Each structure stands twice: as C-alpha cells, then as structure tokens.
Structure 1
Amino acid sequence: MRRRGSRAVTVVLRLCSLVCLAPSLVSSITVNTPAELQASKGDAVTLPCTFTSTSRPTSKMTVDWLYRPQSGGPPQTFFHFSSQAFPPPDGQFMGRIRWQGSPARGDVSISLINATLNDNGTFTCAVRNPPDVHGSPTSHIVLTVTLKKPSTRFSDVAVLLAFILLPSAIVTLILIGGMLCPKKRYSQSEAYRSPIEVTEGEGDRIHPPEAKVKKASCCALYLMDSDDEYEYYNRKKTLPVDEYYAESKC
C-alpha cells in the first residue's frame, strides 16, 4: 500500500511539473521595436518592428498596430495584417500607412507617410503566431514629430553673392588699378615752350617729340609802313630756316 501511495505521489508531481512547464515551452515569441523615434513634419517615417518565434509564421499569424495619442486615452487599432495587409479605411491614418513587412523574415514594419504634429504619441506593435502566443508579443514606440528647421538654399546664397559681393569686388579692383597705374600729367609749361623762352645753353637741346610748337595761322596780318616793309624782307632773307614766322596769304 505504501509503494502504491508513493507511486501516485510521484505521478502527481510529474504532472504538476509538466503543467507548470507547458507555458514556458510555447512562450517563446518576442517582439522588438525602438523605444523612441523622431521625425520632422511632412517626412515619411518607418516604424520598425521585428519578432522571433519558435514556430514558423503561418496563415494564422496576425499583426496589429495600435496608436495612443500624446494627450492620452486608450490605444486604438489602426492597422491589421492576416495573410494580407488591411490599411485603415478611415480616421487619422487613412491613406498614410504602407506595409513594409516580411513575416517570413520576422519583419512586420510599417511606414507613416506625411507625418504631422497630430501623430505624436505611442505606437504599439502586437504579433500573434499560434501556438506561440505568450512571452512578449507587444512592443511600444514613442513618436515625436517636430517642425522642420529653416535651411538656406544654395540658390539663395548664389543670389547674394551675385548682387552684393560681385559689385564690391569690381569696385575694389578698379580702385586698386587706379592706385597702381596713375595717369601721367604734364603741365602746360612742360608740354610747350616758345622759342623766345629758350635760355642760353638750351638752344642746342633737342625738344622731345611730344612738345608741339604753335604755328602762326594763315590769317595773321602784319601791318607795317613802307620802311618797315623793306626791313622785314631784308630780315627774312637773313633769318635761319627754323625760325617760325608766317606771312599772311589771305
């Protein structure tokens, strides 16, 4: 009787151990997501989600994405996958969710198109792959959407260079050229000196080619008496050729 009782106790203990260990044998699914994501308004944001399971994904596997706004409230399912993707037919995310997953590779990610400030909140990825339904089947992402920082475009910089720096550079070059290459200026006394102003010792010097001697005009008249006329013609014959006198031919 004692032997039978001990055997019964042993069997009960084994059954209890199997019952206790049974959940651990099937609780092997694990879902992973980043804890936080940041995006700018208008961007396309990928919400990554991967899972590991001891069982191969089958047609019974399901994926649900839930959203809870930053202001609070219960999470609501906006995307479902079961053999195929079911995007949200209405609501805040209608037309802005794209399925990016590949369940055979353990990827059940989605992308959010044209992010807005109203999308700030917590996104939850939930995966069920029977018989692996225990463990950590969910994971959460906190999404923060901010305004884009103003950026200077290259075209704006080019316009500033063209209208501000280029004229300044031209003016600077002109001023430098004027300083390095001054114009030569000659006074009237250096450009022309009459033969009468030639002092002693300068008669034999050769005048520079740019020096010009003012010639008498054809209408210069000499009014003289008869005696003066006789003296004039006699002097004309004796004067050297390089003296500059002109007889009126008017």
Structure 2
Amino acid sequence: MTLLLRSVCCISVEAPAEISVVRGATVTLSCSFTSSSSITSLMSVDWTFRPESGGPAILFFHFSSQAYLPKEDYFKGRVKWAGSPSRGEASIQLLNASLTDNGTYTCTVRNPPDVHGNPAQTVLTVTPQRRSVTFTDVGVLLVFVLVPSGIITLVLLGRILCPCWSVSEKRPAAAHHSPIEVVTGDEYFYGQTQQKQSLCCCYFKDSEYEDDYMHEKPHEHTFTESQC
C-alpha cells in the first residue's frame, strides 16, 4: 500500500484567476506547476478554452516534448508556446486578442507518475481598446521648447503692437525740442512775447540810507519775442 501511494502523487498547478487586456494586445496565459518527480519526456501540457457564452471546452494546444499549435481557424496562428518544463512553466501567449476570446482557459499538466491534480483556470476578459493620452519623451521635449518660444513670441508681438511699452524705458538724457514744442516751464502763448523771469529784491532802509537807495538802478524787465 505504501509503495502504491508513493507511486501515485499529485501535481500542483497554478494560474492567475483573472486577466484583463485590451483588444489587439498580446496576452500571456501564465501557468506554473510543481511536481515531486523529475521532469521527463512524458510530461504533457493541455490548454482548453470554454467561450464566455458557454458550450463544451475546446482543446486548442498540446505540449509533449514539443508544442502542437492549433490548426483550427479560431486560434490558428495566434498561439505561441512560452513555457519551460525544466523550470515548472507551462505558459502560452495569445496574440492579437479579440472580443471573441473572452472565456475560461484551463491549464492541465501531467508528469508521470504525477498525473493527479486539479487543473488551473483563468478567466480572460478582452475589452475594446481605449484611447489614452500619453506623453512620450518627444512630447515632453516639444512642450519645453514650444512653450518658452510661444511666450517670447507673444512678448515681441506685444512690443511691436504697443510701442508705448518701450518709450518709457528709453528716454534720452538730453532731448532736442523743436521750435514749436511746448516744454514744461517754458510755455509760449500765441500773440504774446515771452517774459523772462527776473529776481526782484525789496530793500527796506532807514532814512539815512535813502540817498544811497536813490542811486541804485531799478531792475529792468526784458522782453523777448517768441522764437516761433
């Protein structure tokens, strides 16, 4: 009885419970196994598929010393062996996933004398491809180049369209005025001559200085005509 129990052992098989991918992607259906016996040429792997709509399971892949790819139209040319029996890997790849690939995938591994064990199942969900905005290295580089360039262009256009910006910044030290330009503190009036400003001083003296005061000449007011 002891020899019989030792000769028939269970093999452990594991796989992810669920996998979700977008349509058109390549999906890896992972499957790993652990056997108490060394791997021999008798080790085999079977993959079956049951559609989401139901129905019987379909055997579409078999491995025994070599991979036997499906010849049916449904999976033909879309299955690739990705396993390594020596490392306990029995995975496959499904290329160009479509919405009709939704369903349950079952991985069964046998390695005599380890032939008993529960297979592992994975539910595959394929969704329509979503458009997502991603920034690549080129996109980031364009942002760093175009944004500063745009700001500089706007500033230059603003200075061209509004020259008053630069007038206040550039004022000459000594500006030349035309003869008819009105300058602060030097106003000209039509039909009148310019009156020069003169300093007028008042002296308050005693009577004994009156004679001296009489000899002083009064200040004269000079008038000049406008240069206009």
What range describes the TM-score normalised by the shorter chain of this pair?
A: 0.5 to 0.7
Q: 2:23 aligns with which of 26, 41, 59?
A: 41
d(CA) in 2 for partners of 1:24, 1:37: 36
Q: Match of 1:74?
A: 56
Q: Match of 1:63?
A: 45
d(CA) in 1 for partners of 2:56, 2:156: 69
Partner secondary structure for residue 170 of structure 1: helix
Letter paired with 2:154:
I
Q: Match of 2:82?
A: 100
Letter paired with 1:123:
Y
Letter paired with 1:85:
A
Q: Match of 1:206?
A: none
Deviation track 1:135-190 (CA, whole Å, cap 9, x = no partner) reads 32x1100001112221225588969x969x93897169717965644479x99542
Deviation track 1:42-71 (CA, whole Å, cap 9, x = no partner) reads 111111101111111211111110000100
Q: 2:158 aligns with which of 174, 187, 192?
A: 174
Name the count of aligned residue pairs: 183
d(CA) in 2 for partners of 1:121, 1:80: 19
Partner secondary structure for residue 114 of structure 2: coil
Letter paired with 1:82:
S
d(CA) in 2 for partners of 1:23, 1:64: 25
d(CA) in 1 for partners of 2:189, 2:43: 118
Q: Percent identical across equivalent pairs?
A: 44
CA contact under 8 A between 1:48 and 1:108: conserved in structure 2? yes
CA contact under 8 A between 1:23 and 1:134: conserved in structure 2? no
Confirm whether residue 199 of structure 1 aligns to residue 191 of structure 2.
no
d(CA) in 2 for partners of 1:135, 1:179: 88
Runs (4+) of structure 1 moved beyond 6 Å? 191-196
With the length of structure 1 as denominator, give the TM-score of the two structures. Answer: 0.60
Letter paired with 2:130:
K
d(CA) in 1 for partners of 2:152, 2:41: 73
Q: Go from structure 1 to structure 2 and tell me whether the alpha carbon gap of 1:77 and 1:97 turns closer, same or farther (over 3 Å shift).
A: same
| Structure 1 segments unaligned to the other structure (5+ residues) | 1-17, 203-243, 245-250
d(CA) in 2 for partners of 1:53, 1:153: 44
Q: Go from structure 1 to structure 2 and tell me whether the alpha carbon gap of 1:150 and 1:168 turns closer, same or farther (over 3 Å shift).
A: farther
Q: Match of 2:101?
A: 119
Report the Cα offset of residue 200 of structure 1: 2.1
CA contact under 8 A between 2:7 and 2:113: conserved in structure 1? no
d(CA) in 2 for partners of 1:49, 1:80: 14
d(CA) in 2 for partners of 1:156, 1:31: 45
With the length of structure 2 as denominator, give the TM-score of the two structures. Answer: 0.65
Report the Cα offset of residue 36 of structure 1: 0.6
How does 1:188-227 map onto structure 2 within 5 Å?
189-190=181-182, 198-201=193-196
Q: Match of 1:83?
A: 65
Q: Match of 2:215?
A: none
Q: Match of 2:122?
A: 141
Letter paired with 2:114:
D
Letter paired with 1:69:
P
| Structure 2 segments unaligned to the other structure (5+ residues) | 172-176, 198-226
CA contact under 8 A between 1:100 and 1:111: conserved in structure 2? yes
